[in-house]
Structure 1
Amino acid sequence: STWRIVETPRPWLAPWHLTTLLAMLVAVVALAVPAWFIAQAISRPVRAVARAAERARAGAELPPMPTGGAREVRDLARAVAAMHGRLAAHAEGRTTMLAAIAHDLGTPLSRLAFRVEQLPEAARERAAADIAEMRAMIAAALSFARDEAVGDRTRLDLGSLIESLADDMADAGAAVMVEPGSRAVVSGDAAALRRLFANLAENAVRYGDRAAIGWRVTDDAVEVTIDDAGPGIDPATVERLFEPFVRGDPSRNRATGGTGLGLAIARSIAARHEGEVVLENGPEGGRARVTLPLAG
């Protein structure tokens, strides 16, 4: 008169569950591998265009642009190339305009320099200093514009270049010292790189009494530091100091000199060599740090 209920134990994963899950895993792996290769093939030209866009600046050579891929990628590549062409044309026009202005200003400045010779001695010295400062500003503006042009690149020993510059500045009476590091070979425009380090060293001497230059080599780059013994750098104003015609000494007195283009020129040259310049505080005062890639 009673019922007996018998239940068979059921496993959490039955054999057919395991078979289904294994089949799904095999299908996912089989689809993921070709999907990854397809995604790489699609994104490769996009990455090439992105690298080219990062290097698209006046004076820099544009790397080869992808010619294949989807129609949208080809359109993007043509747009980046056209943008680079416009930048180059703009820079060339600006340089031509500045050269014309400098030439036109040179004649009246020469006449002024001749006429101030007739002034009394005290007034003559002040007027001559004003004329010299105007000529220096014109020359610096032209240098800033021309430094965006691409010069001949060669493999060079950066340490030898820095030591030669330091010797020349020391012979001229500047307090410049060098702490040599390992041999560093870079690919670049020797004249432009010399100007880069000369501007930074002159800034260190002008605002920090001395310049101590050293460098160290990492796996794929060389890091050059220029330390001074000045009051240091306000982090809030660092980026502004790289803007053209901005000086560390806002009073613009002749004791410190300068036109406010030295750091802008230095950063422009470093960027053309795929490097960077940063300002920071060093052990005693301010520090300029330049990073450049080693030659392949």
Structure 2
Amino acid sequence: MIVLLVGLTISHVAGTYFLSNDRRDSLIETSERLCADHIAVITHLLDKTPPQERAALVGELGGAITAISLSDHPKVEGRHSDEDELSMVQAALKPYFATVDHSRLRVAHHQTSSDQGRGLWINLLTGFPHDRAMQVSFLLNDGRWVNFEMTMVRDASWWSPHAALSTLAMMVAILVFGSLATSWVGRPLATFAAAADRLGRDVNAPRLPEDGPWEVRRAVAAFNEMQDRIRRFVEDRTQMLAAISHDLRSPITRMRLRMDLLPEGDGRDKMLHDLTEMEAMVASSLEFARDEAVNEATQSIDLAATLAVICDDITDIGLIADFEWSTRLVCACRPTAMKRALTNLIENAARYGREAKVQARRIGSTVEVIVEDRGAGIPVAEREKVFNPFYRLDGSRNRQMGGIGLGMTVARDIIRAHGGDIHLEDRQGGGMRVVVILPQEKEV
């Protein structure tokens, strides 16, 4: 719109300038010819009139735009100021007088600025016009001079109220119709950008309407096709994981029954322990696949109340979890999925880091949840790996203490599905600090 507005305004002003100059030149030339003819007719009439009657005739012929006087000497002194005007007056007088040379004819013109007695804004709007007057002194056949001063068309500049209003009308039209056009073109692009951002949070989002310019429709159609392929890919992998996990439960159960028939011993106990762990891994994988297949609606919840409930539940099982709750914290999310993600993070901190201290706050258009513990911490090289499925750290976070390595994976998947992210940091004084960022489309 800026390019369109500037370009067309310059073009319009330039066109107005050329057209106005051409029109002004034509009007001035016509006015000068009419004045020359008028002077020639009056001069011829005065020359034919007896001297004693000329004074009365001059009073009758003079007027507001024509001043006529008789004198013994010419009022126009010096050289001619405009040869074109001199030629026009000569041509007009020639039919009535035998000789019209420089000794009998003197022509000049003068301009007086019209800003005298006018306000600055009036002169600015009217283009600072000048009052133009043609002055002519002609020697009659009896030796007396007749003097004329005739007001002609004002010599105004090309800038005038009409030019200003014309330019303003054009600019308003560009802004109005340009806004409609850019809105028509930009609305699909804005929707397209929002859908691309939403795709990272919800692969099951509805398809975009294919409207707008042809290029935008092609881009939207390609985007919809890409989204369908990603959705099919995720669904296929999720169904495959669920099917494998489900099918493994039957052979694991049969193997457990057969182990029970074997005589007791270290070998039998170790095999039973491995089968128990495999069964837990299969159950967790199946649960993870089922959760991925659930399409939960987004709702506004009090995240502070949810965190308080999670901490109370964890405290009930003998762990230490404390939430500093000061006020309500409204957050738009998928409630069940978000509760599971936060439960995994807080329970991990309480179980493996001795205690969990939870804080939550709103910063602008984001909600931040911080979970701190007092454990041994996680090495920097291992912090990204803990989000991999079935990855577990040695030491305090080992298999004997529970878990198969899906808690952090599930938590980050859920957080990122909400458009947020999760970071691991060192806690001042020792331990880990988990920071969860949840963007909100608007402050609730």
Instruction: Tell me the TM-score range normalised by the shorter chain.
Output: 0.7 to 0.9
Deviations 1:112-146 (A, max 9, x none): 22222344254444333322221222233234334
Residue 283 of structure 2 aligns with which residue? 139
Q: Give yes or no for the alignment of 1:169 onto 2:314.
A: yes
Residue 231 of structure 2 aligns with which residue? 88
C-alpha spacing 1:252/1:270, structure 2 compared with 1 (3 Å) = closer
Deviations 1:212-237 (A, max 9, x none): 11111233332111111123344454
Deviations 1:203-259 (A, max 9, x none): 223442222111112333321111111233444543343333333449984234433
Secondary structure in 1 aligned to 2:237? helix
Residue 285 of structure 1 aligns with which residue? 431
Note if contact 1:249-1:256 (Cα within 8 Å) is conserved in structure 2.
Answer: no
Q: Give yes or no for the alignment of 1:60 onto 2:203.
A: yes
* Comparing 273-282 and 33-42, the one that deviates more: 33-42
Return the letter of the residue paired with 1:289. V
Note if contact 1:59-1:91 (Cα within 8 Å) is conserved in structure 2.
Answer: no
C-alpha spacing 1:202/1:124, structure 2 compared with 1 (3 Å) = farther
TM-score with structure 2 setting the length: 0.54
Note if contact 1:98-1:142 (Cα within 8 Å) is conserved in structure 2.
Answer: yes
Residue 304 of structure 2 aligns with which residue? 159
Note if contact 1:182-1:216 (Cα within 8 Å) is conserved in structure 2.
Answer: no
Deviations 1:173-232 (A, max 9, x none): 222222224311223322211110121123223442222111112333321111111233
- Give the Å deviation of 1:110: 0.8
Secondary structure in 2 aligned to 1:245? coil
Residue 72 of structure 1 aligns with which residue? 215
Secondary structure in 1 aligned to 2:371? strand
Return the letter of the residue paired with 1:79. A
Cα distance between partner residues in 2 of 1:58 and 1:132: 35
* Comparing 197-206 and 49-58, the one that deviates more: 49-58
* Larger relative contact order, structure 1 or 2 (CA cutoff 8 Å, min sep 6): 1
Residue 57 of structure 2 aligns with which residue? none
Secondary structure in 1 aligned to 2:192? helix
Residue 271 of structure 2 aligns with which residue? 127
- Give the Å deviation of 1:41: 5.2
Return the letter of the residue paired with 1:140. S
Cα distance between partner residues in 2 of 1:50 and 1:131: 49
C-alpha spacing 1:210/1:99, structure 2 compared with 1 (3 Å) = same
Looking at CA atoms only, which structure, 1 or 2, has the larger radius of gyration? Answer: 2
Cα distance between partner residues in 1 of 2:377 and 2:350: 13
- Give the Å deviation of 1:94: 1.7
* Comparing 167-176 and 135-144, the one that deviates more: 135-144
Note if contact 2:319-2:351 (Cα within 8 Å) is conserved in structure 1.
Answer: no
Residue 47 of structure 2 aligns with which residue? none
Aligned ranges 1:1-296 → 2 under 5 Å: 37=179, 42-57=185-200, 59-62=202-205, 65-117=208-260, 118-120=262-264, 122-149=266-293, 150-249=295-394, 253-283=398-428, 284-294=430-440, 296=444
Deviations 1:129-175 (A, max 9, x none): 32222122223323433443421333222122112111111111222
Note if contact 1:157-1:184 (Cα within 8 Å) is conserved in structure 2.
Answer: yes
TM-score with structure 1 setting the length: 0.77
Secondary structure in 2 aligned to 1:255? helix
Note if contact 1:67-1:74 (Cα within 8 Å) is conserved in structure 2.
Answer: yes
- Give the Å deviation of 1:34: 7.6
Structure 2 unmatched runs, 5+: 1-157
C-alpha spacing 1:36/1:228, structure 2 compared with 1 (3 Å) = farther
Residue 23 of structure 2 aligns with which residue? none
Note if contact 1:199-1:262 (Cα within 8 Å) is conserved in structure 2.
Answer: yes
- Counting aligned pairs with the same residue, the percent is 37
- Give the Å deviation of 1:278: 1.8
Cα distance between partner residues in 2 of 1:262 and 1:226: 15
Cα distance between partner residues in 2 of 1:280 and 1:81: 38
